[in-house]
Chains A and B, each alone.
Chain A
Amino acid sequence: MLGESLLLTSGLLVALGVYGLLSTRSLIRMLLSVEVMFNGALLALLTLAGGAEGAALALVAVSLAAAEVGVVVSLAVLLFRRRGVLDVAALSESKG
Chain B
Amino acid sequence: MSGSEVLALAASAAAVASGLAVVRSRSTVYAALSLALLGSSVSVLMAAAGFEVVAVFHLLVYVGAAVTFILFTVAMMREPPEAPGQRGPALLAAALLAVAVLIYLARAGAPEPVGASTAEVASLLLGEKWPALLVAAVALGATMIEAITLARRD
Please give the residue numbers on chain A whose beta carbons come within 8 Å of chain B beta carbons, in ascending order. 1-26, 28-29, 31-33, 35-36, 39-40, 42-43, 46-48, 50-60, 62-71, 73-78, 80, 84-89
> Distance in Å from the Cβ of A78 to the closest Cβ of chain B?
5
Asked if B110 and A23 sit within 8 Å, CB to CB, the answer is no
Across the two chains, which residue of chain B brings its CB closest to A85? B80
Least CB separation from B34: chain A residue: A32
- The interface centre, meaning the residue of B53, B58, B110 with most chain A CB atoms within 10 A of its CB, is B110
Cross-chain pair count, CB within 8 angstroms: 267
A59 touches B121 (CB 8 A): yes
- Assess whether A16 is in contact with B45, with CB atoms less than 8 Å apart: no
Verify B19–A12 contact, CB threshold 8 A.
Answer: yes
Measured CB to CB, the closest approach of chain A to B120, in angstroms, equals: 4
Apart from A39-B19, A71-B147, 8 more pairs, CB < 8 Å: A14-B101, A23-B85, A26-B83, A33-B23, A36-B22, A43-B45, A62-B54, A64-B136
